[in-house]
Amino acid sequence: MAFFLMTDPACFDVSYQINPWMRPTAWRPEHRAAALAASASLKAALRAAGAHVETIGAVRGLPDLVFPANAAVVLDGRVLMARFRHPERQGEEAVFRAAFARLKARGLIQEIVDLPEGVLQEGAGDCIWDADRRFFWAGFGPRSSKASVRVIARTFGREVVSLELASDRFYHLDTCFCPLAGGKVLYFPDAFTPKALATLREHIAEADRIEASAEEAAAFCVNAVNLGDKVIMARAPASLRAKLQARGYSLIEIDLDPFILSGGAAYCMTLRLDRTSQPQPAILAAE
């Protein structure tokens, strides 16, 4: 069963700017209520799709705690703790560490590992397990450092294919890259350096590539949670709905506008804890 971590959004707001989507002056108090509703809808959608969701409590002064994808890289019960680039988010590290310690005490994860000094890595936001290809894709540049790639490979004993991100708007890999069950990959080409794009295309057959348009990427639809044939995402342009439906996926769209004001959406509001490196059974079967 898919098992996700989410965070209570009670202390979410946009009060600083560490990516170009964040505009503290555009934040209104009424966005908080909308955020609570949006987060609850996402959680309900995950549960309706058969997933289990654990929730971490909110902490005042840490608005971006609502994006647990950035907390760690998790595979085979091993948790590699993140180190954030921006001081605004560094306070989250201790909160997530305590949450993982509680999960470990309950036997829900096995081991908590730290990055070496000086290495920056923003969790599953920049390191995505490809369940079909059975390796990690790691983004680096705007947030995670290039040195994180070797550390991930060493920590998990798995291949890591690294992709340099070229734009401040698509600052985490999960904003522009989303592997889907069955081997297809939804991605936004302009977010990558030419070298990264060549690497990506070397590893993904043309028939498996689904290119997102600038409009679809800006709607944060690439930042999606995939469970079997279901893709849970922010409200999508009709063009994307058509593309994914033509390939056999069904979209579950949620109004995540308050979180898009912070530069995040469905994928980064969650952290999947149950991924294993073992081969997974049937293509497109519900997980």
203 is catalytic: no
Q: Which parts of 261-280 interact with ligand ARG (CB under 6 A)? A: 262-264, 268
With CB under 6 A as the contact rule, which of the stretches 16-24, 53-61, 179-187, 250-258 interacts with ligand ARG?
16-24
Listing DSSP states for 84-147 in one string gives -SSHHHHTHHHHHHHHHHHHHHTTS--EEE-PPTT--B-GGGSEEEETTTTEEEEEESSSS-TT
Radius of gyration of the chain (CA): 17
Binding mask 158-187 for ligand ARG (x = CB under 6 A): --------------x-xx------------
Phi, psi angles (nearest 5°) of residue 183? 100, -5
**Catalytic residue, candidates 31, 127, 172, 221:** 172
CB 219 within 8 A of CB 236: yes
Q: Report the residue from 18, 109, 120, 185 that binds ligand ARG according to the rule CB under 6 A.
A: 18
Least separation in angstroms between residue 183's CB and ligand ARG is 23
Least separation in angstroms between residue 70's CB and ligand ARG is 5
Of 280, 287, 262, 282, which Cα lies nearest the Cα of 133? 280
Q: Report the residue from 4, 12, 27, 67 that binds ligand ARG according to the rule CB under 6 A.
A: 67
> Distance between terminal CA atoms of the chain?
6
Least separation in angstroms between residue 144's CB and ligand ARG is 10
Q: Which parts of 70-89 interact with ligand ARG (CB under 6 A)? A: 70, 89
CB 36 within 8 A of CB 233: no
Of 237, 227, 212, 229, which Cα lies nearest the Cα of 266? 227
Q: Which residues of the chain form contacts with ligand ARG (CB under 6 A)?
A: 18-19, 22, 64, 67, 69-70, 89, 125, 172, 174-175, 262-264, 268
Enzyme catalytic residues: 172, 268
